[in-house]
Amino acid sequence: MNNQPRSLFLSTFLALSIAGASVSAYAASDSQEVTNARHETQIWTTYALSPYLRSNKIEVTVESGKATLKGHVSEEVNKDLAKEIALGVKGITSVDNQIVVDANYPVPLVGSERSFSDVIEDASITTAVKSKLLWSKSTAGLSTNVDTKFARVTLTGTAQSAVERDLAARLARNTHGVIAVDNQIKVNAMKPSVAQSSKQAVNEAGSDISDSWITTKVKSTLLYTSNVAGSAIDVTTNKGVVSLSGKVNNGAEQALAIELAQNVRGVKSVQSKELTF
């Protein structure tokens, strides 16, 4: 009996098995490298966006779920924060925190070029300010541009009254993250067109604005505002009547929450008996 075909078959089978194992091992290794790189990017991006860590140069390497951190920070709490952020990334099981705490570590000065985190934060501020102006029925006649750089907001455009102009600045100034506001809006008390008057009448009446839209915008406005604990305030709306409930820190915060809710387009009145401090 000729055993050559059988021997050839076995040799071929073994060769293919070894090759398959090599390909699988390579694919597994490649997949692990991709996972490591993704974890490193997630951790680094969070550091870059953190106001407490973005000025520090922290190196991050990840190997099979273990993150190694190197660099310098000025305070122990920042070192701990870096570790907690890394552990918060799904897939990270341990952290070798080699960050050195140095009280004399020099924090880089703000230059003319914005960092990645600065651009993201400024864009977020601009969006929040624009949204608050758009949703407010008290700024219906406002035509303005919002520009943010290093958390400093510049408002330009026109308003129909000084009250409208000042309110725009106030809404911007009370937005989370804003350091300063340069209000360059000019008052142009021209009589609004028929179309503008009709639009404003609809906004004031709130006839085309749903309760769900109002609830969402009131809640968002409160969350965007720095002097209000928006997450602690519940908002419901029924036929344009907004009800606020929850607990705030003081009477000033309560009054501001009511004012902000009242200024949202479509709101007919605000009930705040259950908003206590």
Closest CA to 230 of 263, 254, 266, 265: 254
Instruction: Give residue 62's pLDDT.
Output: 95
| Residue 262: half-sphere exposure toward Cβ, Cα within 13 Å | 10
Q: Which residue has the tokens 């750089």?
A: 149
Per residue, the 3-state secondary structure of 35-93, as one string, reads HHHHHHHHHHHHHHHCCCCCCCCEEEEEECCEEEEEEEECCHHHHHHHHHHHHCCCCCC
- Name the residue with tokens 């401090």: 277
How many other C-beta atoms can be found within 10 angstroms of the C-beta atom of residue 20? 10
Q: What pLDDT sits at residue 202?
A: 46
* Residue 147 bridge partners (DSSP): 154
pLDDT along the chain (277 residues), means of 10: 51 55 56 90 87 83 94 90 94 95 73 76 92 87 86 93 92 92 87 49 57 94 89 93 93 93 94 93
Question: What does the DSSP 8-state code read for residue 192?
Answer: P
Dihedral sign, Cα of residue 216, residue 151, residue 250, residue 260: negative
What token pair was written down for 73?
Answer: 């920070």
Phi, psi (5° rounding) for residue 61? -130, 145
Q: Please give the C-alpha separations between residue 62 and each of 41, 101, 270, in angstroms, as whole numbers.
A: 10, 21, 52
Provide the 3-class DSSP secondary structure of residue 241. Answer: strand
- Give pLDDT, residue 198: 45
Which residues face 157 on adjacent strands? 144, 185
Strand partners, 275: 246
Residue of 234, 215, 219, 226 lying closest to 273 (CA atoms): 234
DSSP state of 230: G
pLDDT of res. 45: 86
Which residue segments constitute the domains of the chain, with CATH numbers given? 26-101 (3.30.1340.30), 116-194 (3.30.1340), 206-276 (3.30.1340)
pTM of this prediction?
0.63
Residues 276, 9: Cα–Cα separation, whole Å = 83
- CB-side exposure of 94: number of CA atoms within 13 Å? 5
Neighbours of 141 (CB within 10 A): 18
- Cα separation of 111 and 114, whole Å? 7
CA–CA distance, 87 with 204 (Å, rounded to integer)? 49
CA–CA distance, 214 with 203 (Å, rounded to integer)? 12
- Which pLDDT value is given to residue 194? 44
Where in 215-257 does DSSP place strands (E)? 233-238, 241-247
Helix (H, G, I), strand (E, B) or coil at 237: strand
Q: What is the pLDDT of residue 53?
A: 84
